[in-house]
Structure 1
């Protein structure tokens, strides 16, 4: 018990010293960025609620519906899995084990914290805004579409993964660019799959990207702070 108290005290003092040493400008910019994304999310909802975007959302869903076929259905169902709950849980566990093995327990905890946080806010906002899916409920407890959970998780998780790789692994600029394009394209395809499958409107996807951006910024700030 005494050993744990001493460890806790050392960690507390270490965090305190790190906070004083950390550039306050970075904290300010991150806070401003998070505030902007939240404001943009709520602004987007006001636009949707006044039907200013609803007709475009419905038009796009109807256009995409005409393109559906068995081959594309299988393709986009497969892509959608890259941001499904089961896949992300497994991916997180593998990432956490890797980070812990590399003596980066704090990074693993940050990923866990922000992943759980993003999941909570997806649930909160979906129930708060209560926007119906384009073609009705997926299940008895899965009827709401705004913001898109898959878009949120994809934007946050793969953005966070990109941040971890580029921060702790020395890569040439061209490889960083290739990695950014690969993750970006994957996020785009996951988002596109949700529209194609009729689970979301375009504005749901945009809302998901905004919310995912919030937790990406939070994770980036915490990683930068603890590993400065």
Structure 2
């Protein structure tokens, strides 16, 4: 096994190159987010945000409003969201995916703390009812979107687990990918449509949430490669009755039968 790992490892120069590419990508994402945060801190209301919200809210059909409310419902109920994360982590632990359970808890909790910290620093107010239609009033600061970061942390990690841990075209794997992808993509538009966030808040949530998720995935893959909290597989048990009886017989009895 050790020899196979050594033969499959990349040369050091290729490893360094990939590491530099990842660092450059993370630095770019962080720079864009920092620039956006600095800009909205000094300009709480952007004309482009108002225009985008008006475009989203042009269609006011009951079914669309109900859909947008349903998409944001989990994030709007803190106890429900916390319970969902805890239940998912417990299920992962019970199926012997212990590292995955701990990473899920750590990612979701740290993402929430990071979001609250940035909101305090940026201190951007929510959209005003005088500028846009606020269909669901929210409290606290606006940048970055807490719903978006929470959904990227939870659903994004489940989406990644489905890609990393399992293969094939099983219906439950495809269903998990579709459901997770749906919530990740649609939570942003739902926050704009409901008037809870500006488009720049949503963009900031995707940028910071995606960057934070990437860092946790890197940590997870490194710990998984080292075999931390790896599930121990039980040796296969033979269900053949003759094999069980033969194993239970003393050596002398088996030798007399053979003779």
SS in structure 2 of the partner of residue 200 of structure 1: coil
1:60 to 43, 52, 57: 52
Matched, 1:117 2:114: no
Query: Of the two structures, which has the highest relative contact order with CA contacts closer than 8 Å and spacing of 6 or more?
Result: 1
In the other structure, the counterpart of 2:210 is 213
In the other structure, the counterpart of 2:196 is 199
Q: What is the CA-CA distance between 1:82 and the residue it aligns to?
A: 4.0
Query: Greater helix percent: which structure?
Result: 1
Deviations 1:137-176 (A, max 9, x none): 946xx23111001111112221111111221112249997
Residues 55-204 of structure 1: matches in 2 within 5 Å?
Answer: 55-84=47-76, 85-135=78-128, 138=137, 142-172=139-169, 180=177, 182-204=179-201
Q: CA RMSD in A?
A: 3.1
2:28 to 27, 32, 36: 36
Contact 2:44-2:125 at 8 Å conserved across structures: no
Deviations 1:37-85 (A, max 9, x none): 2221111223435659811101122333343344332221111124443
Contact 1:47-1:53 at 8 Å conserved across structures: no
Contact 1:155-1:209 at 8 Å conserved across structures: yes
Matched residues in 2 for 1:29 and 1:53: separation?
35
TM-score, length-normalised on structure 2?
Answer: 0.68
Count residues in correspondence.
Answer: 205
Contact 1:30-1:218 at 8 Å conserved across structures: no
Q: What is the CA-CA distance between 1:218 and the residue it aligns to?
A: 1.8
Contact 1:154-1:190 at 8 Å conserved across structures: yes
Q: What is the CA-CA distance between 1:200 and the residue it aligns to?
A: 0.5
Matched residues in 2 for 1:25 and 1:98: separation?
38
In the other structure, the counterpart of 1:12 is none
Deviations 1:184-220 (A, max 9, x none): 3322221111111100111110100011112211221
Mean Cα displacement is larger for which, 72-81 or 181-190? 181-190
Matched residues in 2 for 1:101 and 1:30: separation?
34
Matched residues in 2 for 1:46 and 1:160: separation?
28
Matched residues in 2 for 1:104 and 1:166: separation?
15
TM-score, length-normalised on structure 1?
Answer: 0.76
Contact 2:44-2:124 at 8 Å conserved across structures: no
